[in-house]
Amino acid sequence: MDDLSEFVDQVPLLDHHCHFLIDGKVPNRDDRLAQVSTEADKDYPLADTKNRLAYHGFLALAKEFALDANNPLAAMNDPGYATYNHRIFGHFHFKELLIDTGFVPDDPILDLDQTAELVGIPVKAIYRLETHAEDFMLEHDNFAAWWQAFSNDVKQAKAHGFVGFKSIAAYRVGLHLEPVNVIEAAAGFDTWKHSGEKRLTSKPLIDYMLYHVAPLIIAQDMPLQFHVGYGDADTDMYLGNPLLMRDYLKAFTKKGLKVVLLHCYPYHREAGYLASVFPNLYFDISLLDNLGPSGASRVFNEAVELAPYTRILFASDASTYPEMYGLAARQFKQALVAHFSQLPFVDLAQKKAWINAICWQTSAKLYHQERELRV
Amino acid sequence: MDDLSEFVDQVPLLDHHCHFLIDGKVPNRDDRLAQVSTEADKDYPLADTKNRLAYHGFLALAKEFALDANNPLAAMNDPGYATYNHRIFGHFHFKELLIDTGFVPDDPILDLDQTAELVGIPVKAIYRLETHAEDFMLEHDNFAAWWQAFSNDVKQAKAHGFVGFKSIAAYRVGLHLEPVNVIEAAAGFDTWKHSGEKRLTSKPLIDYMLYHVAPLIIAQDMPLQFHVGYGDADTDMYLGNPLLMRDYLKAFTKKGLKVVLLHCYPYHREAGYLASVFPNLYFDISLLDNLGPSGASRVFNEAVELAPYTRILFASDASTYPEMYGLAARQFKQALVAHFSQLPFVDLAQKKAWINAICWQTSAKLYHQERELRV
Amino acid sequence: MDDLSEFVDQVPLLDHHCHFLIDGKVPNRDDRLAQVSTEADKDYPLADTKNRLAYHGFLALAKEFALDANNPLAAMNDPGYATYNHRIFGHFHFKELLIDTGFVPDDPILDLDQTAELVGIPVKAIYRLETHAEDFMLEHDNFAAWWQAFSNDVKQAKAHGFVGFKSIAAYRVGLHLEPVNVIEAAAGFDTWKHSGEKRLTSKPLIDYMLYHVAPLIIAQDMPLQFHVGYGDADTDMYLGNPLLMRDYLKAFTKKGLKVVLLHCYPYHREAGYLASVFPNLYFDISLLDNLGPSGASRVFNEAVELAPYTRILFASDASTYPEMYGLAARQFKQALVAHFSQLPFVDLAQKKAWINAICWQTSAKLYHQERELRV
């Protein structure tokens, strides 16, 4: 192993976008691992999912770090399961997880404290805007009351311990965000409130929310993540192109809103371009690094054709099982070695500085985690 | 040659999407080969077409398998021409061709039986919806009569010996398919009927047709192919993005409609994503494998970043000359070797199983060709 | 170095799309080089720009060709600065620059004659339509007078020494060009004239202009360049997809309008497809070759999957400093070696012919520069 490989091997990882893990005692770990290795719904044939490489990457990790080499897919009890998790998170030098609590895996999930204990490193929470907006809708009868309660909660997010925000507008209305007046927003609220549905799908209301929380987020100097591109069958990926966000980015990034585009595939080149011309714009290739493992290196190379190396971040978007976090780390670190070992014009010190930036340093600054992440 | 290369070399091919061949006695085979090596119209300069790699790939095959090494581009008479075809189709282990009879090459074409005899393997026919819909329009004066006759024919397609359906909606109205009520559809028919044009270009009518033939196709357990992306200058490739089909896929794939996206380039990543989240969704990279030979390996790698290996199929979309089928096979098999020789996490047996699935097994199941394809 | 590498190394370059250079006495060359290495605005953090590879590629060139090896970023006086420029333009065998005079770099720029003297090779001018249209608007009060004056100037462009035209419609209204009647165009003019803004942003007027200058450009047998895709934050890259130009291309390329798509990234595959089916359509990957240096080879490979090798051109889109031209040449020539050294089916003579076509010959024919470019 050469010097660069060795460096990448031990570089710490701040996983700035992932989800909860579950308890180790869930049986039928083989099928559950397969389900986690895809964005498909439950009614998608598991046989096809097992014919994707991601599942086999999970299996390979399970075997490599197994407590019982003869039975790597056995359900595990404490404290063995924590040992297994520590092996994987430790091997890849994960130092912190930032958890979007809005997505909740099936099966008994662990809360933030339990997750931290299981994985053996600190975890912090991201505030998912739509989820909280929906909770406040249940408590309020009109737009003004709802907005006051919700925006007040947003203002206190940092004080409440959150380290960033996230929007899943891409899942609900697509990324063509537009300014909306309060009358349209209020009408959107009324329709929603009377629909009997908790799920927020009003385009005027989501647009209004995103345009009006931006100053509140800037005031707390916290980043705002957006789901972009790749996701499950519930997202209209045609409307998940980040180029559609241009008006929003123009309106707020120059005023100091730090925007983080998550996943991005197959629009990672578009995301890299945006990062090269808009200040305060960051992105990652999460979810592709573990669920599309044969493409991780290619997609990373494409993503950084234009982007500064100080604007792309490591993330896994993993949930449920440690193998999903581990495979993201394995494929991402391999992609780093492949890319930087071939890079002309710069010396090894510069390459190491950029690798540090990508893996933890930029995220540490962005989410104000410098103190927590001592490396 | 290693074990994987040897395996790929001899793996059988079921070409699930191609067209008629022509008679061997057509003169000026050099220019005709060049014309077949491009999707450009006749008024496109042949000199530029000869400056594409595809033409040179055809020439290389013609020389390699020539009956007369000193004159590889001579027009050929029977039985020599059959010998020449058998050499090429045999060398690449083609076992069956599924022919879309809707596209008819220039020059004296061979019918299904003649094609089978020429190439030396079985051929089966695909039912192109728009072509048949147009034929029935000529015979009927109103929407109801037309629909009854046409839908009746669709219902009998399997009984009539067809093994699948195809739509070229992408060529006519793009892929943003929407539900349409019968009044709009009938109005579309009337406009069409009175236009004096045989060509079906009414969006309401095409949308109606595709939404209403779906149950009839499901009932026969046959697949429905769609032209997607790459084609000639007559297709608006901006509207050929398969992400636009999301509503249609949601409406029918979970009900059992087997959809096959053809070509897909440059939207092959989008197609791979769709295959990873929708049941019953298949796709190929046909036409790119022979007409863009320097990109076949790259495009294959991109196509399978997310897709199950049991959802991507081999096809050539070839017509006219055996060189076009042969070049697709050559480039596709090379892409398979390049991809699978580098694939981590799985053993050689798994790789061989996936290669079999891609080259013939999945298509054999999909088109009910198991009995015919004994390998 | 093998035969192919040696050939590419010395092949002449006709840079058919670039801009003015500036005087050598500008201080703070380090920061100015960084600013030139990005499409970002001035308010984008220079620190991030210095974390892009392009900046380091510029630095590497500055060091390699420095007059004073101990101080490669010093401001330079004449005649030393001309020597420095000659070293770079000479090393990469630049033979001519075609300058779009519409974009003007910061700092004291050189005029056409001064630029030619500085770089040591001939330069010619491209007529930017929007810039001239704006100048004529200031002089005329109504649409008819404006159009008469402007179209008259267009007709005389060749006589005035211009060698081609360029449109930046992508920056103003996007590339979905449509036929417009004269009443809408005149209304667009009136709104523009009374707005007090010099900048032309009326979609009807730009569409009208492009549909009506086409015959005037055909009559002079000159090419029309379009900005496509990649540019600064002022362009809406969502609307910069060349597939949107299909109606315009159908209307004019078959009538003899020679269209050149500039940059194209990330739509270079789309551009290559268009070049493969439309006559008279050319394109390049300028701006990516120098501002995205790690991707130049990958993007070139993708661009020529379908395009004839006689339809893709070398260009740098460089301005300001010789390093930007030099890096484009270095990365592009490397991409040529990587691509052609692996190309199957053709011999070395054919590869050399195609490399000549790409680097200078096709441009020389297109811009009628055969006599000027004696190689």
Detail the DSSP E strand segments found in A212-269: 223-228, 258-263
Interhelix angle B112-119/B80-91, rounded to 10 degrees, is 70
The domain ranges of chain A are: 3-20+82-366
User: Are A38 and B276 a contacting pair at CB < 8 A?
Assistant: yes
Instruction: Using an 8 Å CB-CB cutoff, list chain C residues near B40.
Output: 276-279
pLDDT at A116 (0 to 100): 95
Tell me the CB-side half-sphere exposure of residue A370, using CA atoms within 13 A. Answer: 5
Please write the tens of the pLDDT for every residue from B156-189.
Answer: 999 999 999 999 999 999 999 999 999 999 999 9
Q: Which residue of A has its CA nearest to C230?
A: A273
User: Are A357 and C48 a contacting pair at CB < 8 A?
Assistant: no
Q: What proportion of chain B, given as a percentage, has pLDDT over 70?
A: 98
pLDDT at B30 (0 to 100): 94
For chain C, give the mean pLDDT. Answer: 95
Q: Which residue of C has its CA nearest to A346?
A: C56
pLDDT at B344 (0 to 100): 98
Please write the tens of the pLDDT for every residue from B3-38.
Answer: 999 999 999 999 999 999 998 888 899 999 999 999
pLDDT at B373 (0 to 100): 56
C24-32 average pLDDT score: 90
Nearest Cα residue to C168 out of C194, C133, C217? C133
SS3 category, A313: strand
Sort B349 into a burial class: Cβ within 10 Å, 0-12 / 13-18 / 19+: exposed
Assigned CATH topology for domain C124-282 = TIM Barrel (3.20.20)
Check: CB of residue A226 under 8 Å from CB of residue A169. yes
pLDDT at C110 (0 to 100): 81
Mutate to test the interface with A, among B306, B342, B346, B361 (most CBs of A within 10 A): B306
Please write the tens of the pLDDT for every residue from C89-112.
Answer: 999 999 999 999 887 777 777 889
Please write the tens of the pLDDT for every residue from C142-171.
Answer: 999 999 999 999 999 999 999 999 999 999
pLDDT at B79 (0 to 100): 85
Check: CB of residue B193 under 8 Å from CB of residue B137. yes
Specify whether the backbone of A200 is left (phi greater than 0), alpha (psi in -120 to 50) or beta. beta
User: Are B49 and C310 a contacting pair at CB < 8 A?
Assistant: no
Instruction: Using an 8 Å CB-CB cutoff, list chain B residues near C306.
Output: 52, 230, 288, 291-292, 295
Q: Is the pLDDT of residue C370 over 80?
A: no
Q: In whole angstroms, what is the distance from residue A222 CA to residue A166 CA? A: 11
Beta bridge partners of B284: B313
Instruction: Using an 8 Å CB-CB cutoff, list chain B residues near C250.
Output: 233
Q: In whole angstroms, what is the distance from residue B113 CA to residue B122 CA? A: 9
User: Are C277 and B57 a contacting pair at CB < 8 A?
Assistant: no
Q: How confident is the model at residue B1 (pLDDT cuts 50, 70, 90)?
A: low
User: Are A345 and C60 a contacting pair at CB < 8 A?
Assistant: yes
C167-187 average pLDDT score: 98
pLDDT at A373 (0 to 100): 57
Q: How confident is the model at residue B371 (pLDDT cuts 50, 70, 90)?
A: low
Q: In whole angstroms, what is the distance from residue A44 CA to residue B338 CA? A: 29
pLDDT at B105 (0 to 100): 73
Q: What would the two tokens of residue A271 be?
A: 């995301």
Could you tell me the maximum CA-CA distance found in chain C, to the nearest angstrom? Answer: 64
Distance from CA of C300 to the nearest CA of A (A): 13
- The pLDDT tens digits along chain A (375 residues) read 689 999 999 999 999 999 999 988 888 999 999 999 999 999 999 999 999 999 999 999 999 999 999 999 998 888 899 999 999 999 999 999 999 988 777 777 788 999 999 999 999 999 999 999 999 999 999 999 999 999 999 999 999 999 999 999 999 999 999 999 999 999 999 999 999 999 999 999 999 999 999 999 999 999 999 999 999 999 999 999 999 999 999 999 999 999 999 999 999 999 999 999 999 999 999 999 999 999 999 999 999 999 999 999 999 999 999 999 999 999 999 999 999 999 999 999 999 999 999 999 999 999 986 655 555
ipTM over 0.95: yes
Q: Which residue of B has its CA nearest to C354?
A: B51
Tell me the CB-side half-sphere exposure of residue B357, using CA atoms within 13 A. Answer: 17
Q: How many CB pairs under 8 A join B and C?
A: 84
Q: Which CATH superfamily is domain A3-20+82-366 in?
A: Metal-dependent hydrolases (3.20.20.140)
Please report the sign of the dihedral spanned by the C-alpha atoms of residue B250, residue B251, residue B254, residue B259.
negative
For chain C, list the contacting chains (3+ Cβ pairs, <8 Å). Answer: A, B
Q: What would the two tokens of residue B185 be?
A: 């559809």
Would you tell me how many other CB atoms lie within 10 Å of the CB of residue A47? 10
Give chain A's contact residues with B (Cβ, < 8 Å).
Answer: 38-41, 43-45, 47-49, 51-53, 56-57, 59-60, 230, 232-233, 236-238, 265-266, 288, 291-295, 298-299
Q: Is the peptide bond before B79 cis (omega within 30 degrees of 0)?
A: yes
Tell me whether the CATH fold assigned to C1-120+284-361 matches the one assigned to C124-282. yes
User: Are C243 and B230 a contacting pair at CB < 8 A?
Assistant: no
Q: Is the pLDDT of residue C122 over 90?
A: yes
Domain B126-284 = CATH 3.20.20.140: yes
Q: In whole angstroms, what is the distance from residue B120 CA to residue B134 CA? A: 32
Instruction: Select from 3.40.50.720, 1.10.10.10, 3.30.9.10, 3.20.20.140 the CATH code of C1-120+284-361.
Output: 3.20.20.140
Mutate to test the interface with A, among B305, B309, B310, B343 (most CBs of A within 10 A): B305
Nearest Cα residue to C260 out of C215, C229, C223, C217? C223
User: Are B345 and A232 a contacting pair at CB < 8 A?
Assistant: no
Q: Kindly state the DSSP code that residue A332 receives in the 8-state scheme.
A: H
